[in-house]
Amino acid sequence: MGMYTEIYLKVTLKQDTPEEVINILKHMVDDEDYTYIEVDAKLPNHPLFNTNRWDFMLCCSSYYHIPFSTMELRYDEIVRSYYLTGRADLKNYDGEIDKFFDWIRQYCECRDEFIGYSLYEEDKNPKLYYS
């Protein structure tokens, strides 16, 4: 069956993050106001989008970690930036988590800052990710 890996995100997106990226993230977190992405929409040319679970990986959960996803993409009017925060977990069969962090780094506001972790079900220590 496979084991679960938790993903935790603490990402501040650049103000000039393309609308297409924001729409993809809204879809990935299962935003109630944006639950559909055009099937024929052009996805970025990145290995993440060749995986089977990319589109719902940020809203998955299991009882091996916390039994619900808390992932949220929120816009702040004061700083005019989006924040992607929360946790989810999934069976990381295609290395979706590493691929996600690799893809999202280019849109992070700050460089060399902590942006999240992954924690495999049987591990004691998380794998940390930086922008």
pLDDT tens, residue by residue, 30-52: 866 555 555 446 789 999 999 99
59/55 Cα distance (integer angstroms) = 9
Residue count (the chain): 131
Q: What values do phi and psi take at 56, rounded to 5?
A: -125, 10
- Say if residue 82 is exposed, middle or buried (CB neighbours under 10 Å; 0-12, 13-18, 19+): buried
pLDDT in tens, 87-121: 999 999 999 999 999 999 999 999 999 999 999 99
Torsion of CA 98, 54, 109, 112, to 10 degrees: 0
Strand ranges in 17-126 using DSSP code E only, listed in sequence order: 72-76, 81-90, 114-120
Three-state DSSP at 121 gives coil
37/98 Cα distance (integer angstroms) = 23
Please report the pLDDT score of residue 30 as a whole number. Answer: 80
Please report the pLDDT score of residue 66 as a whole number. Answer: 86
